[in-house]
Structure formats: structure tokens, C-alpha cells
Chain A
Amino acid sequence: MVQKDRLTQILLIEDSPGDAWLIRDILMKGSVPKQLHVVTDGDRALHFLRREGEYAQAPRPDLVLLDINLPGRNGLDVLDEIKADPALKAITVIVLTTSDALEDVNAAYDRNANCYVVKPVDLNLFTHAIQGIEDFWLRMAMLPTRPSAQQPRRSSAKNAGRSGNGPASCLHLQRVWRGIPSRMADKNREWRRGRPRRPAPRYGFTSRLPGAQPRQA
């Protein structure tokens, strides 16, 4: 869970277009308002996180989903770089990979990965795993925001999603989704801000997508 009134920024580091598409599809059907950025290798990921080159305007992600088997720089090397960099180390990194080798699991936790999730081969289990990540990391856990680097508020984030206040190379993969939060999330928000939440505006066309109904926690 991040600050109210702004989109959760997620960086997906994934070289398989099929997996990236699927993860985006599942996450965007989830109820937490979010923006997803996809990069396909470790070097681009570090450029994105450090806002270098074409990523100068990239937002600081609240959550990173990191594949291990990447072209060029391996995911564990990327993890090392993130967790050794004082400016980046607080960012939550979830290793999301097909590898269920114990040595990879241990290596990831030794490098301070926040958690390790194996991508199941079965589609239903895959969906379940990604929804589980959303349920825990975006609705239960509190995510860090760097005190000196506040993210754009929702009003500007809305424009960001549409006009592309981000790197051109991942523009086509960005989408802004606003769903009505589930009752659980509503309840949490009520006690957080001490008054009931006004339902978020929802785009008409998206509400008819399958799976758009708020899920119970």
C-alpha cells in the first residue's frame, strides 16, 4: 500500500514478451490504481532506476518485479546493484522467475531481495500468483516512498499515463487502470484517513473487461 491519491508505480524487468503481456494483463485487472513500466534487460532496468538517458523522466518505482534469467546482465546482478546503491536499496524488489532452484532462491534472499515468487507454468496458478503479489504487496504491505522524492500526484499522473511522461520505449506498455477498490481496501482506507473514501472515477470501457469486478481479499 502506498500513499493515497497516487498511482502505484511498478517496474517489470522481463525479457519474455508473453510473460510481460500476461503479467500486465493480470495486474491491470487488479483493483489497485497503478502504472506499469516494462523493460527487457538489466541494463535498461538500471538506467530506468537511475533516470539515465531516455529514462530521465522515469518515475521512481514503488515495486520492482525482477526476472532472473535476462539477456546480458543477470537478474541477480541487477539485484546486487539495486540493493548496494544507497539511493535505490529501499525499493522493494520481488524476484519473479521460472527458476525454482534452491540456489537461486537463497542467492536472491542473500542479496536482499524482498521476496521470491516462482512463476507457475499453469495459467491458473500463474494468475493466482500475480494476484497474490497484488493482494499482499499493493494492498497489505506499506511500500517505501523516498522522503525527498515524492511522486507526482494523481492529477499529473493521469496525464503521464496518456501523454507519455515516461520513456518512449515503454509507452506502448504503459496503461493506467482505475478500478473501484475492493471492500477490504475501502475499509483499510476508512480507518487510515478517518472518513469514507469517495469511489475513484472509472473508465467506462474498462469496467466491462472480464475480471474487472473487485475481488474479495
Chain B
Amino acid sequence: MPTEAPTAAAEILLLTQRAEDLEVIRQATETNRLNVVSRCPDILSWLRREGQYGTAVRPDLILLDLDLSNQEDCELLSQVKEDPDFRRIPVVVLAASESQENIYQAYSLHANAYICKPPDRQDFVRVIRATLHFWLALARLPRE
């Protein structure tokens, strides 16, 4: 298959609290730069370059490990997607839940995509690879 011209390494901002997920995502990220935070408020601080994130780079893609049945997680998603300064950055939700209610909620709050984390590690690596391939090589991303 023909592929697009190689592009510069993308900046990915990931929110996850699970060390084992982080390991899988790191493995699938290849040459792209992965920045990781583990708490919801840190995503907003990173994007706003507050406090310790004063020199944070603007991500090209945001991956959020969320549980949409949790109020705090819903609020984070809506805060990211309502802020005129960074709402255009694509947000891919990674979730354990397959519940239609959570999926519908995520898209209603303007998540760009919702991915279910497969329990099998190899499947998970493949899903993350395919996700990054789609967003970084096939889709056109917004820029400032």
C-alpha cells in the first residue's frame, strides 16, 4: 500500500493511571513523542501551561483513559472540548467500558473517537497502533 510522506514526530498527550496500559501504549507509540500525566487536572494544567507545565508542548493528539460513568472524567472531557484555545485538538477516549450509555456520553461531549481497550495485551498494542496510524498518517490534524 502506498503511504504518505513521512511526517515529523507527533506530540501525544496521554492521561492514564495504569502502569500496564502505559507500557503497552509506549510500545505502540514508536517514534512519536509520548507525554504522560496521571491525574485529570494535570491535563488542563498541561494544556494551559500552568505551574510545573510552564514549558509544555501543545499536543497534536490527546489520549484520555476515562471512565465516563465517573463525573470527574466527564467534566474533564467537557472542559477540554469547551475551551476555545485547545478544543480543536483531537481527543481519543480509551475506555474499558463498552456501555452504549458511556459511548454516547463521550461523543455528546465531543470526544473525537471512543476506543475500547481489549483485555488481551497483543490486541491492545494492535488497537493503539491502528489508532495512531489512522490519526497521525491518514487523518489531517489541526495546527495553530
Contacts and interface: CB of A to CB of B under 8 A. Distances in A.
B9 interface: no
Given A106-B143, A114-B113, 4 more contacts: A105-B142, A112-B81, A144-B106, A147-B100
A133 B123 CA distance: 19
Interface in A143-184: 143-147, 184
B114 interface: yes
B127 interface: yes
Given A115-B90, A132-B134, A109 B142 contact: yes
A132 B130 CA distance: 9
A187 B114 CA distance: 19
A132 B118 contact: no
A129 interface: yes
Contacts of B110: 83, 89, 112
B21 to A, nearest CB: 16
Interface of B: 1-4, 81, 87-90, 98, 100-101, 103-104, 106-108, 110, 112-116, 118-120, 123, 126-127, 130-131, 133-135, 138-143
A145 B102 CA distance: 10
Contacts of A115: 90, 112-113, 135, 139
A90 B108 contact: yes
20 contacts: A106-B142, A106-B143, A109-B87, A109-B90, A115-B139, A116-B139, A136-B130, A136-B131, A136-B134, A141-B115, A142-B98, A142-B103, A142-B116, A144-B103, A144-B104, A144-B108, A144-B114, A145-B100, A191-B118, A191-B119
A140 B127 contact: yes
B104 A90 contact: yes
A141 B123 contact: no
A142 B1 contact: no
Given A100-B140, A110-B88, A115-B139, A191 B131 contact: no
A188 interface: yes
Contacts of A110: 87-88, 142
Contacts of A144: 100, 103-104, 106-108, 114
Which among B89, B114, B135 has the greatest number of chain A C-beta atoms within 10 A? B114
The 8 closest A-B pairs by CB, nearest first: A136-B134, A109-B88, A90-B107, A132-B138, A144-B107, A109-B142, A144-B104, A90-B108
